Amino acid sequence: MSKKHLILALFVIFPLVVGLACLGSAPDPTATPVEEEVRVITVVVTEQPTPEPTETPTEEPTPEPDLSSEGLVLLDNSLWIQEEDTVFVAFEVENITNDLVFEEINFSVFVFDAAGNEIGSDFDFTQTIYPEQTYGAVFYLYLGDESLVVDSVIVEWEYNRASQASVADMPFLPEKTLFWHSGGFPRVSGMIRNNTPQTYTDIRANIICYNTAGEIVGGGYTFVDFIPGNDYMGYSTYVDAYDDVASVRVFPDTTYSTKMIEGADFWSDVSIIDDHFYSDDWGNIMGGVIVENETDQVLKNTNVFATFYDDDGHVTTTGYIYIDLLLPNTKIGVSPWVSTPPSDAITSSFDVLVFPGEVLEDYELTSNPFVVNSTEVTGDYEDYVTVSFTNTYDKPVSEVEVYVLLFNAEDLIIGGGDTWTSEPTPAGGTTEVELWINYDSEMTIARIEAWVVPNNWTRFD
């Protein structure tokens, strides 16, 4: 294993101005542009100090430019570490202005060996850095070859424009951030609050860990699928910690794929009919949700998201599942995948939120043609269910989804599973499917409910 650990404290900085075209996003109509050309800042970081000159210069050296005039500056708090063929890089950039918003910032990281050969690179994007805001960037570079040894790192960033700030407040604020030691597998959980009335999708949150001196000692990142307007969403993710962690900061922002959705009427398109989750003796969380499409339209890619909490309201873990297609006025029961909570967490409550999918126009089906004939617990450890269903459509159908929920004697959901078929079921034909189920084997299954539905890849031929 090749491992290098360096807290970056020595920077040689070269500004470079280039005439790149704008990246295409529409500017904020409320903002007044003050800078239209793209600027690229290059930061070269090496392990070795700059050697003393062997001769007395015959000319006065050109003074280094004052980067404060650029508004975005690299702070003297960075870290890169190589472990085998992976390089972790984290650094902080500050907007030192009190009135400018920098928009569409592209960060690039390049790593070099001792001979100066580039051996890896990575890129990332953040939409905005607000006045007097510090932004933390986190990268993982995968070299693909353990024999490659990183000797130096170059960081570059470019911004598309800087505009006069109309609102200085950031739209996303982290809350209840907590570092979990989790028996040597550290995790960070928390909430990200959306302070705007719009719903945002695809939010990335960079996470940086610090020691007691405020130095970067690790971090990671995660993605939040959506955050409703004037609300929050939880997250929980693994991080890398290379020293003792005293504090954590989270830096959320939009991504290239972020969508902003106005209004709130769409939240009622899908309702929650039933839900139940519980922890087994090992801390694993199981259960499920029944949802219903309340509209007369086919919905594509509905997201069911569950957040779990301890008694103090800290997020312990999250779970999610995507429903490819929801036919009009149809119910489906699903068992979301829930990541294992930290070993030092005790989960005591949960909530579930459903983000309705987009309307799929002119779909071939308006009602579900599949009829479930029977369900049976199978497997040597009663960890499978066999579902028999019939295709009542007048065409052969392949690539259909099968969902199962399990209930106890109190009719509480205690687990479930899902799978899909690849072989076509003829018109009027019957198919049997066996799928793995997740539940506490100490519990008794009183009944099983199954749903067979089309998905995004279903074929009718």
The residue ranking higher by pLDDT, 233 or 66, is 233
Asked whether residue 268 carries a pLDDT value surpassing 60, the answer given is yes
Average pLDDT, the chain: 86
- Most confident range, picked from 24-38, 140-154, 165-179: 140-154
Percent of the chain beyond pLDDT 70? 84
Mean pLDDT of 285-308: 97
Lowest mean pLDDT among 156-170, 407-421, 436-450: 156-170
The pLDDT of residue 62: 42
Helices (H), 377-455: none
Half-sphere exposure of 44 (CA within 13 A, CB side): 12
Task: Indicate the DSSP class of residue 63.
Answer: P
Residues 6+ apart with CB under 8 A from 446: 407, 408, 409, 411
Domains 3-23+32-50+65-164 and 172-261 share a fold: yes
Q: Which residues contact 361 (CB under 8 A, 6 or more apart)?
A: none
Asked if CATH classification 2.60.40.3230 holds for the domain at 172-261, the reply, yes or no, is yes
For residues 39-62, average pLDDT: 39
Percentage of residues in the chain having pLDDT higher than 90: 79
* Dist. CA 288–CA 292, nearest whole Å: 14
Binned at pLDDT 50, 70 and 90, residue 461 comes out as: confident
Q: How confident is residue 168, by pLDDT bands cut at 50, 70 and 90?
A: low
> Where are the domains positioned within the chain?
3-23+32-50+65-164, 172-261, 268-461
Overall average pLDDT of the 60-69 stretch: 41
Give the Cα separation of 260 and 64 in Å (integer). 41
The predicted pLDDT at position 104 comes to 92
Q: Does domain 3-23+32-50+65-164 have CATH number 2.60.40?
A: yes
Q: Kindly state the average pLDDT of the residues 398-421.
A: 97
What pLDDT digit, counting tens, does each position of 307-360 carry? Answer: 999 999 999 999 999 999 999 999 999 999 999 999 999 999 999 999 999 999
Predicted local confidence at residue 167, as pLDDT? 60
**Token pair of 184 as six digits:** 């040597």
Give the C-alpha separation, 80 to 18, whole Å.
28
What is the model's pLDDT at position 163? Answer: 85
Choice among 6-15, 315-324, 416-425 with the minimum mean pLDDT? 6-15
pLDDT digits (tens, 9 = 90+) for 435-446: 999 999 999 999
CB of 119 closer than 8 Å to CB of 148 = yes
**Interval 185-243: pLDDT, tens:** 999 999 999 999 999 999 999 999 999 999 999 999 999 999 999 999 999 999 999 99
Q: Mean per-residue pLDDT for 405-422?
A: 97
If one compares 47 and 211, the residue with the highest pLDDT of the two is 211
- Is 420 exposed, middle or buried (CB count within 10 Å of its CB: 0-12, 13-18, 19+)? middle
What is the pLDDT, as a whole number, of residue 60? Answer: 44
Using CA atoms, how far apart are residues 167 and 186, in angstroms rounded to an integer?
36
